Amino acid sequence: MRGSRDDKADKDDDRYTYDDEGEALAPGTIAATAMRDVAELTGKAPSGVTALEPDDGGWLVEIEVIEDRRIPSSSDMLATYRAQVTADGELTGLRRIRRFSRGKGDSEEG
């Protein structure tokens, strides 16, 4: 949902960033834009956003992509890409930060 910087409810809400025209871009809009850009640049369909955080007036978005489909699908090769996006939704950087087999997810001990 987009709102104006003049809208008091949005102005004080840290969940939104604003473009040059004072329009708020919701985190979901930022994530969707980043997913579209990753698909365009990699030629692979993103399967989802795994992280979204504000960063120096913009956003860092981590997106999981199926890089190599295999049979059975439990052995697909996946990758996580980190996209740097400005507050107005422009992609400024993209890097693959991880590549892994679907059956070998993160293991956290605690």
Tell me the C-alpha distance between 102 and 77, whole Å.
6
Residue 56 has pLDDT above 90, yes or no: no
Phi, psi torsion values for 41, nearest 5 degrees: -80, -35
- For 59-105, the pLDDT digits (tens) are 999 999 999 988 888 888 999 999 999 988 899 999 999 999 987 76
Average pLDDT, the chain: 81
Handedness of CA 81, 84, 89, 90 (dihedral sign): negative
